[in-house]
A and B are shown apart, each in its own frame.
Chain A
Amino acid sequence: MSRARADEEEYWHSSKFRAFTFDDEDDELSQLKESKRAVNSLRDIVDDDDDDLERVSWSGEPVGSISWSIKETASGSTSSLEGRDSSLQKGSSSYAALPKQVSSYSLSSLFKGEDHHVSCRQMGFPSESLTDTGVKNYAPELRRPKAEYKDYTSDWSPKDTVRRMQRGKVCSLERFRSLQDKLVLLDEAVAGHDGNVITAVLIFLKRTLRREILFRELEVRQVALCHLIHFLKETGEQKFLLDLLRFLDRTEEVALSQYREHLNIQDVEKRREFLKGCIGLPFSAEDTSHIQDHYTLLERQIIIEANDRHLEMAGQSEIFRKYPRKASILNMPLVTTLFYSCFYHYTEAEGTFSSPTNLKKTFKIPDKQYVLTALAARAKLRAWNDVDALLTTKNWLGYTKKKAPIGFHRVVEILQRNNAPVQVLQEYVRLVEDVENRLNLATKYKCHDVVIETYRDLKDRIQLTAYKCKVERGSADEEKINSILNNTVRSAY
C-alpha cells in the first residue's frame, strides 16, 4: 500500500530489521499444509472420537471443570431454563431501580451516631438498632455469627487492632478518641499496607474528624490520602472528593474529576449544560481547548440532530430518503460528525452549522483529515465530480492542478474501496508519484492505460510486450501497445 513490495524487500535487506514473515514462505506454508494433510489422513485409520480422547465438551469446557458444571447443574435445576431466564430478566429490570436507592445512602451515614445506646459499636457488627428497624422483614434469617461474640470487650492497641483487622477480625475503633490516637491508628494501618484496613480506618476518621483537620493530616500522609481519594471515587462521593482535591490545590484533578461526571448524564441537553460549566475549570491549557471543543461539538450535534430528524421524517429530502440514517449523530466523535456532514450536507454554505466547511473552520480540522473524510463520504455516494473538485486547486492565474495532501495512493485506495469505475480510478493512479507504486496500483486495478504509458515512458519494451497478454485481444489497449512497440522499433532504426 504505502510502499511497493519490491521497495519493502530492498528496505528489509538493506536495513537491520527483520520482517516477520517466514524465511521461505512457500516452504513454510507447505510444511503447515503437509502436517495438516498428515493429520487429516490419519483420521481415516483411527476411529476418532475427539470427545473420548480429550474429555472436553465441544464448547471446550473440560468435563468436570467448575465452569462446565455451572451450566450442567443449572440446566438440571427444577425450573426450566426458559422459566429461569425470564424470571432473571424480570429481576434485572426491576433491579434497575436499585442504584438510586443505594446512592441515597452514603457509607458514612452509618456512622452518624444513630444508635447511641450501643456503647461499643463495632465495625462489621450487625448493630442492635438494625434488628429493631425491621430488617428481619427483609432478611430471611438474622442469626448472628457466633464468632463475632468473641473479643467483644478487648482493649487492643493500635498495632494489635490493625493486625486483627488484617486477619479479617472484627475490631472496635470507637476507643480511639483523641486526634493523637486516631493518627497513630492510621499510621499503623498505612504501615501494614493493607488497603482494606487503611480504608476502614479512613472511614472511621472521616466520620469522627472535622474536614479541615482530616484534610490537613492527610496532606502529609500521601498513601492514606490516595486510598481516601480512591474510596471516594468508588463510592461516588463526588462533592467530598472535590472539596478534598481543592484543599490540596490539585486543581487539574478537580477539573478532570468533575468533567468525568458528564459520562453519567444521559440527557443531551443536560449534558451540554454540564459541559458548558466545565469550560471554566482549571484544566491545562491544552486540555481546556479540547473541553471547549467537546462542548461546541455537542451543541452543534444537538442542532443538526433536531434539523435532520425533522427532514428525515418529512420525507422531502432525497438524500435522507435514499440513505436513511442508521443512528443519531449525538455524542459521536468529531471526525464521525464531519463524515456525516460531508455525506448529508456537503453542498451547504459555510454559514450553516451543519456544513463541512463550517465544521472544518470551527474545529481547525487539518487539511489532511478533512480531505480524507470528505473523500470517503463523497466516494461512498459515488459522487465522482465532488471527488474531482475536492482534489483540484486553482492558482491565481486560473490554472488548475490536482493536489492530494494525503497522497494519491491513499486516494486510489479509498476510491477503490468504494468500487470506483476504472475511468475514475485511473485518473488518480496516473498521479501517484512513485513509479513503482504507480505500476503496482495500476496493474492491481487493471488501469491498462496507465500501465502502458508508464512502460512507454520507462522505455521498457520487455515489460510492455509481456503486458500484452494481460489486455483483451483486439481491444484498443492492445492496439496502443502495438503502436508504441512499432513506433519505437521504427525510431530505433
Chain B
Amino acid sequence: MAAHLSSGRVNLTALREAGRRELREFLDKCAGTKAIVWDEYLTGPFGLIAQYSLLKEHEVEKMFTLKPGRLPPADVKNIIFFVRPKLELMDIITDNVLREDRGRSPQRDFHILFVPRRSLLCEQWLKEQGVLGSFIHREQYSLDLIPFDGDLLSMESESAFKECYLESDQTSLYHAAKGLMTLQALYGTIPQIFGKGDCARHVANMMIRMKREFPGSQNSIFPVFDTLLLLDRNVDLLTPLATQLTYEGLIDEIYGIQNTYVKLPPEKFAPKKQGEGGKDLPTEPKKLQLNSAEELYAEIRDKNFNAVGSVLSKKAKIISAAFEERHHAKTVGEIKQFVSQLPHMQAARSSLANHTSIAELIKDITTSEDFFDNLTVEQEFMSGIDTDKVNNYIEDCIAQKHPLIKILRLVCLQSVCNSGLKQKVLDHYKREILQTYGYEHILTLNNLEKAGLLKPQTGGRNNYPTIRKTLRLWMDDVNEQNPNDISYVYSGYAPLSVRLAQLLARPGWRSIEEVLKMLPGPHFEERQQLPTGLQKKRQHGENRVTLVFFLGGVTYAEIAALRFLSQMEDGGTEYVIATTKLINGTTWIKSLMEKLEPAPF
C-alpha cells in the first residue's frame, strides 16, 4: 500500500505507521460502533495515512461529510467529528449537535478530533453555543508532517504562508517545530541545523527550546539525517511565481495536484473498445494518483516536459516488443512464462496510456500562443530584461481580461526581479487592475505589498542582478534532455532556494555571505550535541542526508531540482524535502487574495 514511502534513503513508512497507531488508539477510546463526520479538507491528507479498511477494523461503519443541518441517521454508538480547528466549522458542528433528535434511543455519543491541534478558541466557541458539554472526548491528532512520497513530507497547511508573513501568526511554525521533533524521535537527533530567514530562526529556536524542556526527547537512535536546512519562503519569492516546466510541475500548474491526486478532463481517457465507438463518454473527471509507486511516473515526473515525449515513445516500443513475444512462445512453458508476466505488462501499458494522454493534454497548452507569450515575458524578467517599465504583454492581458491571478503572478514576478517597481510603474499597474477587475481588489494588492511580492522600489537600488549573477540563477545553455544543472526545471532559471541548498552543501555559505545579506532575514547555524556513541562515522563514498524544510511552501519544480541534485553522481548529498504546503504560483497568490465573497453560511 505504501511501498513507495520506503523506496527512498529514509524509510518514511515509520512515520506513517506512527500516524496510524495514534489514529487507532483514538478510535479505540470511543468504544462501540462509530460514524465519522469529516471536514472535507482532511480526507485528502488522511487518505495518505490510512485507508477505510483501517477505520472499519475499529468499528467505523459510516462516514459523512460535515454539512449544516441534521446528521444522517446511522445506527451507531458514536459520532466523531474530524475537523480542523476553525470557527466556521465549529458553527456547523453546533448546528449538527443541536439538531440531533433527542428522542432517539439509544442516544449517540459525540466526540471531536481536532487536526492537527486542539484549539482553546474553538472550544470556547462551542461552549458559547452551549454544546461543548455534549462532547465526551475532545482530542487532538497531530498530523503535522504527512508522508507524500519516499522523499517528501508536507503539513498541507494551506494558509501557512499567509499566517506567517501577512498576519505574523506563528502557529504553523510551532507545528513545523513539533513535526520536526516527531521526526527526530523516529529518525534520531539531527546534528546540524542551518537556516535562512526569520521563520527559519523561529523554528530552530523552538526546536532547541523543546529539546531542552522535554529531556525525555533525548533519544538513542542513530541519526538518519545529517543536516537540517530551514528555508523561509520569503527568502525566495521569485521561484513559485514562474511557470514550472517539469512534467509534474506542469500537471500541477494546469490541473492542480491535491494530496497526490489529479483530476483530468475525461475525453482523452475514454476507453476505446471496438464496436462501442463514441458511446457513453464519461463526463466525470478522471482522477489519478501520482506518486513514485508508479514506475513510469517516477521516471518522468521530474524531467523537463520537452524530454518527456521521447521517453514515452521509447517505452511504447519496449512494451509493444514485450507483447509481441507471445508469437514466439511455442512451448507450454514459454506460454506460461508469458502469461505470468502479463499483469506487470498490463500495468505498464495502462500507465503508459495514462501518461501519453496527460502529455497530449499538456502539449495542447504548452504549444499555444498565449503560453508561449507568457513564458517569454517570464524569462525576460528572470534574466533581467526590461523589468523597470510597464510591460506590453501584461497590459494586453489586462485589456483582454485574462484571469486576475495570472496578471498578479506576472506583475509580482516583475516586481521581485526588479527589487520593487518604480512608483510610476506600480501605480500604473494598480490603476489598470482596479479599473478592469474592480476596486475592491485594492485589498488584495495591499496584501501582496505586505508580503513583499509587490512593492515600490526603495532607495532606487535593484539588487536582483547581483543576486542573479552571483548565484547563477539564469543559465544560457540549458540542456533539457540531459540536464547538467538545476536550471532545467524552469528552462533557464535555476530556483534560488535550491541554489542556496546546493551551495550550502558545497562549498558552503561562507562563499556567498554578501548575497545572503541581501536576502531577507538572518542566516545561521546550530549544532545539536549527540552522545558519543551516536556520532556518525561516515563510510567512504557514503552520501550525506539533508532535510530541506520550506517554510511557507514549495513547488514541484523545486522538488525536482533537489531530486536532480540527489541523483548527481558526485553530488555527495541526498535530499529529503519537507514543507508546510505544496504550492504553485496560482494557489499561492490565491491564498493571499482577500476573500471577496462572504462565507456561504
Chain A residues within 8 Å of B, Cβ to Cβ: 1-2, 16-23, 25, 28-29, 31-32, 34-46, 48, 50, 53-54, 56, 58-62, 64-70, 73-74, 77-79, 84, 87-88, 90-92, 95-96, 98-99, 102, 105, 107, 109-110, 123-124, 126-127, 130-131, 133, 135, 138-145, 163, 165, 168, 191-197, 199-200, 203, 222-223, 226-227, 229-231, 234-235, 256, 259-260, 262-264, 286-287, 290-291, 293-294, 297, 331-335, 363, 365, 368-369, 372, 406, 410
Closest to B376 in A: A17
Distance of A383 from chain B, by nearest CB (Å): 20
How far is it, in angstroms, between the C-alpha of A50 and the C-alpha of B471 when the chains are bound? Answer: 48
Distance of A9 from chain B, by nearest CB (Å): 12
Cross-chain contact A38 with B320 (CB below 8 angstroms): yes
Which one of B121-129, B215-223, B503-511 contacts A? B121-129
Cross-chain contact A256 with B50 (CB below 8 angstroms): no
Closest to A131 in B: B133
Cross-chain contact B436 with A73 (CB below 8 angstroms): no
Q: B525 at the A/B interface (Cβ < 8 Å)? A: no
12 examples of A-B residue contacts, CB within 8 angstroms: A35-B352, A36-B356, A48-B346, A58-B282, A62-B289, A67-B44, A92-B69, A124-B132, A145-B138, A168-B117, A230-B163, A290-B442
How far is it, in angstroms, between the C-alpha of A99 and the C-alpha of B599 when the chains are bound? Answer: 10
**Interfacial chain B residues near A32, Cβ < 8 Å:** 309, 312-313, 356, 359-360, 363
How far is it, in angstroms, between the C-alpha of A37 and the C-alpha of B284 when the chains are bound? Answer: 25
**Interfacial chain B residues near A141, Cβ < 8 Å:** 107, 109-110, 134, 136
Cross-chain contact A223 with B168 (CB below 8 angstroms): yes
Which one of B366-374, B457-465, B555-563 contacts A? B366-374
Cross-chain contact B376 with A124 (CB below 8 angstroms): no
Distance of A35 from chain B, by nearest CB (Å): 4
Residue among B38, B55, B323, B347 making CB contact with A53, cutoff 8 Å = B347
**Interfacial chain B residues near A235, Cβ < 8 Å:** 87
The DSSP consensus for interface residues of chain A is helix
Q: B285 at the A/B interface (Cβ < 8 Å)? A: yes
How far is it, in angstroms, between the C-alpha of A143 and the C-alpha of B316 when the chains are bound? Answer: 64
Cross-chain contact B598 with A263 (CB below 8 angstroms): yes
Q: B399 at the A/B interface (Cβ < 8 Å)? A: yes
**Interfacial chain A residues near B108, Cβ < 8 Å:** 140
Closest to B599 in A: A99
**Interfacial chain A residues near B261, Cβ < 8 Å:** 60
Residue among B305, B342, B435 making CB contact with A365, cutoff 8 Å = B435
Q: B528 at the A/B interface (Cβ < 8 Å)? A: no
Smallest CB-CB A-B distances: 10 pairs: A60-B287, A91-B69, A195-B171, A226-B168, A35-B316, A69-B52, A294-B439, A38-B316, A31-B313, A168-B118
Chain B residues within 8 Å of A, Cβ to Cβ: 38, 43-44, 46-47, 50-53, 55, 61-65, 67-70, 72-75, 85, 87, 91, 95, 97-100, 102, 107-110, 117-121, 123-125, 127-140, 163, 167-171, 173-174, 177, 202, 206, 209, 213, 245, 261, 263, 271-274, 282, 284-289, 305-306, 309-310, 312-313, 315-317, 319-320, 323, 326, 342-343, 345-347, 349-350, 352-353, 356-357, 359-360, 363, 366-367, 369, 371-373, 375-376, 379-380, 383, 392-393, 396, 399, 401, 427, 430-432, 434-440, 442-443, 446, 476, 478, 491-492, 594, 596, 598, 601
Cross-chain contact B72 with A79 (CB below 8 angstroms): yes
Cross-chain contact B124 with A73 (CB below 8 angstroms): no
**Interfacial chain A residues near B117, Cβ < 8 Å:** 168, 196
Cross-chain contact A77 with B74 (CB below 8 angstroms): yes
| Most A C-beta atoms less than 10 A away, residue of B55, B271, B356 | B356
How far is it, in angstroms, between the C-alpha of A98 and the C-alpha of B380 when the chains are bound? Answer: 52
How far is it, in angstroms, between the C-alpha of A297 and the C-alpha of B169 when the chains are bound? Answer: 36
**Interfacial chain A residues near B98, Cβ < 8 Å:** 138-139
Distance of B420 from chain A, by nearest CB (Å): 15
How far is it, in angstroms, between the C-alpha of A191 and the C-alpha of B50 when the chains are bound? Answer: 35
Known: A46-B346, A60-B288, A145-B135. 4 other contacts (CB 8 A): A42-B349, A92-B69, A193-B173, A334-B436
Distance of A274 from chain B, by nearest CB (Å): 13
**Interfacial chain A residues near B401, Cβ < 8 Å:** 335
Cross-chain contact B346 with A369 (CB below 8 angstroms): no
How far is it, in angstroms, between the C-alpha of A212 and the C-alpha of B478 when the chains are bound? Answer: 61
Taking A145-B136, A226-B169 as contacts, is the C-beta distance between A53 and B312 under 8 angstroms? no
Cross-chain contact B127 with A126 (CB below 8 angstroms): yes
Residue among B52, B263, B442 making CB contact with A64, cutoff 8 Å = B52
Cross-chain contact A264 with B399 (CB below 8 angstroms): no
Taking A20-B375, A73-B62 as contacts, is the C-beta distance between A92 and B601 under 8 angstroms? yes
Residue among A20, A59, A333, A369 making CB contact with B399, cutoff 8 Å = A369
Closest to A28 in B: B309
How far is it, in angstroms, between the C-alpha of A45 and the C-alpha of B147 when the chains are bound? Answer: 38
Cross-chain contact B131 with A138 (CB below 8 angstroms): yes
Taking A35-B315, A45-B323, A195-B174 as contacts, is the C-beta distance between A74 and B127 under 8 angstroms? no
Cross-chain contact B62 with A77 (CB below 8 angstroms): yes
Distance of A169 from chain B, by nearest CB (Å): 9
Closest to A17 in B: B379
| Most B C-beta atoms less than 10 A away, residue of A34, A59, A135, A139 | A139
**Interfacial chain A residues near B323, Cβ < 8 Å:** 42, 45-46
**Interfacial chain B residues near A165, Cβ < 8 Å:** 120
Closest to B431 in A: A290
Cross-chain contact A110 with B73 (CB below 8 angstroms): no
How far is it, in angstroms, between the C-alpha of A107 and the C-alpha of B372 when the chains are bound? Answer: 53
How far is it, in angstroms, between the C-alpha of A404 and the C-alpha of B435 when the chains are bound? Answer: 21
Taking A70-B65, A95-B95, A235-B87 as contacts, is the C-beta distance between A105 and B168 under 8 angstroms? no
Taking A34-B316, A294-B439, A334-B435 as contacts, is the C-beta distance between A39 and B356 under 8 angstroms? yes
**Interfacial chain A residues near B46, Cβ < 8 Å:** 66
Cross-chain contact A60 with B120 (CB below 8 angstroms): no
How far is it, in angstroms, between the C-alpha of A43 and the C-alpha of B138 when the chains are bound? Answer: 53
**Interfacial chain A residues near B91, Cβ < 8 Å:** 98-99, 102
How far is it, in angstroms, between the C-alpha of A234 and the C-alpha of B595 when the chains are bound? Answer: 13
Cross-chain contact A286 with B62 (CB below 8 angstroms): no
Cross-chain contact B373 with A203 (CB below 8 angstroms): no
Residue among A22, A64, A102 making CB contact with B51, cutoff 8 Å = A64
Closest to B87 in A: A234
Residue among B73, B287, B316 making CB contact with A78, cutoff 8 Å = B73
**Interfacial chain B residues near A37, Cβ < 8 Å:** 316
Cross-chain contact B52 with A65 (CB below 8 angstroms): yes
Taking A35-B312, A90-B69 as contacts, is the C-beta distance between A16 and B383 under 8 angstroms? yes
Closest to B399 in A: A372
Distance of A124 from chain B, by nearest CB (Å): 4
How far is it, in angstroms, between the C-alpha of A191 and the C-alpha of B212 when the chains are bound? Answer: 14
Cross-chain contact B168 with A222 (CB below 8 angstroms): yes
How far is it, in angstroms, between the C-alpha of A131 and the C-alpha of B46 when the chains are bound? Answer: 36
Cross-chain contact A143 with B62 (CB below 8 angstroms): no
**Interfacial chain A residues near B68, Cβ < 8 Å:** 88, 91-92, 95, 98
Residue among B273, B309, B357 making CB contact with A31, cutoff 8 Å = B309
**Interfacial chain A residues near B139, Cβ < 8 Å:** 168
**Interfacial chain B residues near A61, Cβ < 8 Å:** 287
Cross-chain contact A124 with B124 (CB below 8 angstroms): yes
**Interfacial chain A residues near B436, Cβ < 8 Å:** 333-335
Cross-chain contact A196 with B119 (CB below 8 angstroms): yes
**Interfacial chain B residues near A368, Cβ < 8 Å:** 399
Distance of B334 from chain A, by nearest CB (Å): 16
Cross-chain contact A135 with B130 (CB below 8 angstroms): yes
Distance of A31 from chain B, by nearest CB (Å): 4
Closest to B430 in A: A286
How far is it, in angstroms, between the C-alpha of A77 and the C-alpha of B61 when the chains are bound? Answer: 10
Cross-chain contact A259 with B443 (CB below 8 angstroms): yes
How far is it, in angstroms, between the C-alpha of A460 and the C-alpha of B449 when the chains are bound? Answer: 55
Closest to B474 in A: A16
Taking A95-B95, A139-B97, A196-B117 as contacts, is the C-beta distance between A35 and B171 under 8 angstroms? no
Distance of B357 from chain A, by nearest CB (Å): 8
Distance of A198 from chain B, by nearest CB (Å): 8
Cross-chain contact A126 with B63 (CB below 8 angstroms): no
How far is it, in angstroms, between the C-alpha of A287 and the C-alpha of B352 when the chains are bound? Answer: 54
Closest to B114 in A: A168
Cross-chain contact A287 with B67 (CB below 8 angstroms): no
